[in-house]
Amino acid sequence: MSRMQITTVVMAALTFCGCASTRVPMSYRIRDRYGLSDNQLRRIPYFVSEPIVLGKEVPQGKGKEDARMQLAILDTGTPGLAEKIGDTEILVSFEPGSRLMFVCLRPGMETSPWAVDTRYRLAPEGRDSGTKLGYYTYRGERYFLLRGAGAYLMVRDKDIQPDVREVEYMKGRRAR
């Protein structure tokens, strides 16, 4: 390959990589900075920062040793849509009949001056009265978290940027 062909291939690769969208943590600060309305938040596809594994025991026989574990796995590349939006929470559905709640701290709600993380983090829907563990609803059934306790919502940066419809280039000035 000639030097010109190599340069062309490298430039094409860099251009392609430069156009790729990156995912950023969804936070209250982003929501506030871009002035995202509830309708705009409902149209954004959401992703999770790490895989989430939910599980429940399914009895097979009479004894506890006969039970098997049923898992529901949410991978990082699975898009979801907001079903309900509150001041500090977003309920996201990654498939019909399932939803996960993510909550955040607004600036000023932090428990200490160093706690400035306003990301929307995975939160249980409630606590099981017997085990005191947090539970999550998946397809209408109660599951418990096995992996992904630190998961938070991610969005593509291109989905939260303001929509630019008109571009005007400045002509510049020159001394005479």
Per-residue pLDDT of the chain (176 residues; tens, 9 = 90+): 566 555 555 455 444 444 556 999 998 888 888 889 999 999 999 999 999 999 988 887 776 677 788 999 999 989 999 999 998 899 999 998 788 999 987 666 555 554 557 899 999 988 878 777 888 888 888 899 999 988 999 999 888 876 666 778 888 888 88
Judge residue 104's burial from the number of C-beta atoms within 10 Å of its C-beta, 0-12 exposed, 13-18 middle, 19 or more buried. buried
Name the token pair of 95: 């498939």
Q: Is 77 in contact with 94 (CB distance < 8 Å)?
A: no
Q: What per-residue confidence (pLDDT) applies to 18?
A: 46
Model pTM?
0.74
Residue with tokens 């079903």: 83
